[in-house]
Every structure is written in structure tokens, then in C-alpha cells.
Amino acid sequence: MLELRSLSKVVAGDTHIHPTTLTLQRGSLNVLLGPTLSGKTSLMRLMAGLDKPTSGQLYFDGKDVTGVRVQDRSVAMVYQQFINYPALTVYENIASPLRIRKLNNQEVDRQVRRAADLLKLTPYLERTPLNLSGGQQQRTALARAIVKQASLVLLDEPLANLDYKLREELREELPKIFAESGAIFVYATTEPSEALLLGGNTATLSEGRITQFGPTIEVYRRPQDLKTARTFADPPLNTVEAERRGEDFLIMSGQSITVPTHLANVPQGPVTLAFQPHHLSPSGDRADASALKVRSMISEISGSESFVHLDIGESRWVMLAHGIHEVEADQQVTVYLDRRHLMAFDAAGRTLGREA
């Protein structure tokens, strides 16, 4: 078990990590989700022992390891920018942690070839890293982390440089591999979709603070505040200022949205409403959908999906729709909001009501 107890990091008066308390269990998959510069890498470096915290303590299995050197910890870390030994072959790069453990040659060979097979590196085992593509070099670094069998495995956006097909395969396989070893698996990403695919637990980060931590699907469906909801949205979260009056939310454009059951206890008065882009649709075939008149701006078509940009009063929305949806600019159109997924927040950004 890894415990962060009020751990913080301040550099030249700039707070990179605000006091953070977090507990990660053995055999668990934990995603750090946040935009660039939200503190993911800084937090991982504190976990690894690469950086010394300004305050707080780090415990592993009940032992204070705050001042223990990274060399004396059972840690493996893989960055988006891969690190390999340029003079060694791919085989020896992968084998290096096993050589340090003084395993016999037969066991070294078995583990190297298993990791190489998983990461599609078998044809390249006799090459040096300089004779590999960027994706192949990243896979070599991942393979070395797999065979190290560390107690704490930290992966900082490790799949960003890989092709789509391999990235999808590894998203499925990596959690299984590390979970079987009993390691604590921490995976940093900027992509909400990647966090959802990986599952496990997710900690959302914003400006050096963890805004929420829990089972990934729970954090996604029930954000505790607007920052968490924004972090877990791609395309960006749609929001609009509104006021509850009776059984309706009146939005700035003068239109209304019927208050859904799960938001029945939202008080009368001003609120911020929010919803994911895929909860907006060009057709309304549900009784719990609200029709809204908006002004179309532009469509971005990406094969099987369309990102339709819309204006409603002072708000700018994106509708993520399946299929091809072309719109003319500056035309009034009707879209349909699935009220079952509507979220409401108060002036301080705290969630109101109960997410369905």
C-alpha cells in the first residue's frame, strides 16, 4: 500500500503540488487524469522518490520512505519520452533489470521473450535502440518495466507515441500484467477516454490539486465539482448559466429545461448547468429530452462522428453526434438535450442534486 500524507512540492515559491493525501492499494490500477501542467508528472516523481517533497510523508506498506533514494525502492517508471541504453541491444535493454537481480540465463531469456512477444518486439531483439522507430523504442522501455517486477509501476503517458492499434491492445493488456504481479500501477494521461478504457480508479488533477479520487466510472458519472467534470470531458464540457424557477431551469437564451428527477432538490435561484457533448443530439426520440433552439457555427467530421459547434446566447457548445452531420453556418437549428445526464453546480462550483 502506498500512502501520501499531506505531500506537497513547492519550487522557487511556485506550488507544483498542493498538500495531497492519497492511498493506493497493492494490485490496483490508478489513473492520474488532468491536462498538461496539472501536476501529474510532479506527483509521480514524488511517488517514485525522484524528487523530495517540501512537506508531508510517503509511506509504503506502513514504512516511511520519504527520504529513501529511488535506487533503494522497488519502482519502475516509463515516460512518454522513452529512455533506453543506446549501446545495448533491445534484448539486453529488456534484460538489464533481470541481470541486476542475478537471475540465471534461462530465466532471463524466458522473461525477455515473453515481454518482447507481448509488445511485438521479437523481430528487433538484436537491434540497438538507435535503429528503431520511436514507437519501437517506447515499447522497449515498457518491456523493461514489465520484467522488472517492481512494487510500484509509474507510467507517464506511455502510449502517446504508439500507433492506434497497438495502443488499444496495450490498454487492455498492461493492467492485467501489473495486477497479476500485485504491483501498484499508476498511469498518467490527459485523455478522459483513456481513463475510461483503463478502468480501475481515477484521480482528477487541476492546478496541482487532486479534485476527486475513486472508481473511474463513479468519478466520471458523479463529479463532486465543476473542475472535476471539466477534467473528465473531451470534447470540452458544455455549460450554461441558468436559474431555477419552479420546475424549470431558465437559461440565458430565454428557453427552459424541465428539472429532471435527479436534480429535484436543487434550490431555487442561479445555477450552472453542464453536460457532456454526446448527451446532445440532433434528433429527439426520448420523452426525457429537452428541445433547444441554437445557432449552428461549423461541423467537424471525423469519419463516423461529427463535432457540431453551436451558439446559444453567450454560451458555446459542442454536440458530438454519430454519423455525418453537416450544418450551414449561422442557421437556427433544434437540438435535444438528454436531461438524465444533466449536472448542476453552485456559484462555488460544487455539485448540486444527485447525478443519475
By CB neighbour count within 10 A (0-12 exposed, 13-18 middle, 19+ buried), where does 344 fall? buried
pLDDT given at position 178: 66
Domain boundary among 189, 207, 225: 225
Share above pLDDT 70 across residues of the chain, in percent, rounded to a whole number: 97
Closest CA to 183 of 200, 197, 196: 200
pLDDT given at position 27: 85
Q: How far is Cα 4 from Cα 207, in angstroms, rounded to an integer?
A: 18
Asked whether residue 328 is domain-assigned, the answer is yes
Residues 62 and 185 in one domain: yes
Check if the beta carbon of residue 244 is closer than 8 Å to that of residue 259.
yes
Check if the beta carbon of residue 193 is closer than 8 Å to that of residue 307.
no
Amino acid type, 238: N
Q: What mean pLDDT do residues 90-105 have? A: 92
Reading the block at residue 239, the C-alpha cell is 455549460
pLDDT in tens, 287-330: 788 999 999 888 888 778 888 999 998 889 999 988 777 777 88
Residues 84 and 44 in one domain: yes
The set of residues, in sequence order, having a beta carbon less than 8 Å from that of 241 and lying 6+ positions away, is 251, 252, 270, 271, 272, 273, 314, 315
Asked whether residue 230 is domain-assigned, the answer is no
Beta bridge partners of 188: 32, 156
Strands 289-301 and 248-251: unpaired
Residues 34 and 183 in one domain: yes
Check if the beta carbon of residue 148 is closer than 8 Å to that of residue 93.
no
Residues 144 and 264 in one domain: no
Which residue's C-alpha cell is 532471463? Answer: 108
Domain boundary among 225, 245, 265: 225
Q: What is the mean pLDDT of the chain?
A: 89
pLDDT given at position 240: 95
Higher pLDDT, 328 or 47: 47
Amino acid type, 146: I
Residues 182 and 109 in one domain: yes
Q: What mean pLDDT do residues 275-298 have? A: 87
Name the pTM for this structure: 0.87
Q: What mean pLDDT do residues 29-49 have? A: 94
Residues 241 and 185 in one domain: no
Q: How far is Cα 282 from Cα 211, in angstroms, rounded to an integer?
A: 33
Statement: residue 257 has pLDDT above 90: yes
Beta bridge partners of 248: 245, 258
Residues 246 and 321 in one domain: yes
Residues 132 and 277 in one domain: no
Residues 242 and 291 in one domain: yes
Domain boundary among 225, 255, 277: 225
Q: What is the dihedral of CA 106, 158, 194, 219, to 10 degrees?
A: 100
The set of residues, in sequence order, having a beta carbon less than 8 Å from that of 9 and lying 6+ positions away, is 15, 16, 17, 42, 46, 51, 53, 54
Asked whether residue 142 is domain-assigned, the answer is yes
Q: What's the domain count of the chain?
A: 2
Reading the block at residue 175, the C-alpha cell is 493492467
Asked whether residue 21 is domain-assigned, the answer is yes
Q: What mean pLDDT do residues 123-148 have? A: 87
- The reply to whether omega before 277 is within 30° of 0 (cis) is no
Statement: residue 343 has pLDDT above 90: yes
pLDDT in tens, 145-195: 888 888 898 998 887 777 777 788 777 777 776 667 778 999 999 999 999
Which residue's C-alpha cell is 507515441? Answer: 161
Q: What is the CATH number of the domain that holds 256?
A: 2.40.50.140
Q: What mean pLDDT do residues 3-23 have? A: 95
Q: What mean pLDDT do residues 279-293 have? A: 84
When pLDDT is cut at 50, 70 and 90, the band that residue 355 belongs to is very low
Helices in the chain by DSSP H: which ranges? 40-48, 90-100, 105-118, 134-148, 164-181, 192-198, 216-221, 226-231
Q: How far is Cα 286 from Cα 99, in angstroms, rounded to an integer?
A: 62
Q: What mean pLDDT do residues 251-255 have? A: 84
Range of the domain at 338: 235-352
Least confident of 17-26, 109-118, 170-179, 247-256: 170-179
Beta bridge partners of 185: 29, 153
Residues 71 and 183 in one domain: yes
Residues 277 and 162 in one domain: no
Residues 208 and 246 in one domain: no
Q: What is the CATH number of the domain that holds 159?
A: 3.40.50.300
Statement: residue 73 has pLDDT above 90: no
Asked whether residue 53 is domain-assigned, the answer is yes
pLDDT in tens, 200-247: 999 999 999 999 999 999 999 999 999 999 999 988 999 999 999 999
Buried b / exposed e over 213-229, threshold 16 CB at 10 Å, is beebeebbebbbbbbbb
